[in-house]
Amino acid sequence: MWFGVISIMTEMIATASRTGVFGRAIEQGILSLELFDPRSHTTDRHQTVDDRPYGGGPGMVMMTEPLLATMAEARTRAAAQGIEAPVIYLSPQGARLDQKMVKEFAEMPGLTLLCGRYEGIDERVVERVDRMVSVGDYVLSGGELPALVVMDAIARHLPGTLGNSASAVEESHLDGLLDYPHYTRPETAGARQVPEVLTSGDHAAIRRWRLKQALRSTWLARPDLLTARVLEPLERELLSELFAEGLAAEVD
């Protein structure tokens, strides 16, 4: 998969792209990343990319020309590799990012992520992007962190990115549910014992326990995710067990 990122702070992306799952995916050639700086499409010696808003008001707005020229450069680069990479503008006005959207993006050959700064970008650029995506209802100082969130989430779905494919498979099974509790050594910590089933070696029982825990934490913290979910028969059975057990106690 090809990622193009348009940003006046490319070093933020470059730094993060040298670490973790995302960094390894680039090293392994599972994905490629190209950075585009709108300042390289300015003509004045201050490389101006922002200006005061028409109509007055606080802050600055990113100008049309440098952004459109940079979008054209990114499109040309993608096309040179035979890739169609729709432009996604990261903005609080966008559609909320979720796992379903991440999986949809992970099927694509490429994406161009447009990162705004200041108060935002000129509306005549917004009209020319393919989609707008928000990572959450809060205002950040730039689109770079949201772009990294999007790329990291997608990278996890690309074959070969997660150490062993088992975790990708399991991750997809529990898609849409909150995670189950994780334990590691020591077996007893602060008089708290690791749930017996996890040291039983009975992998079917472990899978069942983990699904039950994921359902429990989802019901307690995000019941909206459960109501939106088409429950498997086993999930329905486990939920009724949880209700019968009064949901309170962590089940062993």
Work out the number of other CB atoms within 10 angstroms of the CB of residue 88: 24
Q: How far is the CB of 250 from ligand 4FV (least distance, A)?
A: 34
What is the C-alpha separation between 13 and 193, in angstroms, rounded? 42
Using the minimum distance from each CB to ligand 4FV, give the nearer residue, 12 or 90.
90
Count of CB atoms within 10 A of residue 94's CB? 17
- Those residues whose C-beta lies under 8 Å from the C-beta of residue 173, and which sit 6 or more positions away, are 211
Residues that bind ligand 4FV (CB under 6 A): 90-92, 116-118, 120, 134-136, 138-140, 142-143, 146
The residues, any chain, with a CB within 8 Å of residue 28's CB and separated by 6 or more, are: 160, 161
Nearer to ligand 4FV, 85 or 90 (CB): 90
Minimum CB separation from ligand 4FV for residue 140, in Å?
Answer: 4
Burial of 30 (0-12, 13-18, 19+ CB in 10 A): middle
Helix pair angle (233-244, 203-221), 10° resolution: 70
Pair 171, 35: CB distance under 8 Å = no
Task: Closer to ligand 4FV by CB, 99 or 240: give it.
Answer: 99
* Cβ proximity to ligand 4FV, 139 vs 244, nearer residue: 139
**Pick 15 or 93: Cβ nearer ligand 4FV:** 93
Q: How far is the CB of 21 from ligand 4FV (least distance, A)?
A: 21
Q: What is the 3-state composition of the chain as percent helix, strand, coil, each rounded to the nearest 5? A: 45, 15, 40
> In angstroms, what CA-CA distances link 138 with 8, 67, 88, 92, 176?
21, 24, 18, 7, 22
User: Smaller CB distance to ligand 4FV: residue 102 or 239?
Assistant: 102
Task: Quote the least distance from Cβ 210 to ligand 4FV, whole Å.
Answer: 31
Least gap, CB of 60 to ligand 4FV (angstroms): 10
Q: How far is the CB of 116 from ligand 4FV (least distance, A)?
A: 4
Q: Which residue has the tokens 């109509």?
A: 55
In terms of CB distance, is 86 or 142 closer to ligand 4FV?
142
Cα–Cα distances (Å) from 233 to 155, 178, 236, 238, in that order, read: 31, 19, 5, 9
Residue 204 CB, shortest distance to ligand 4FV, in Å, is 41
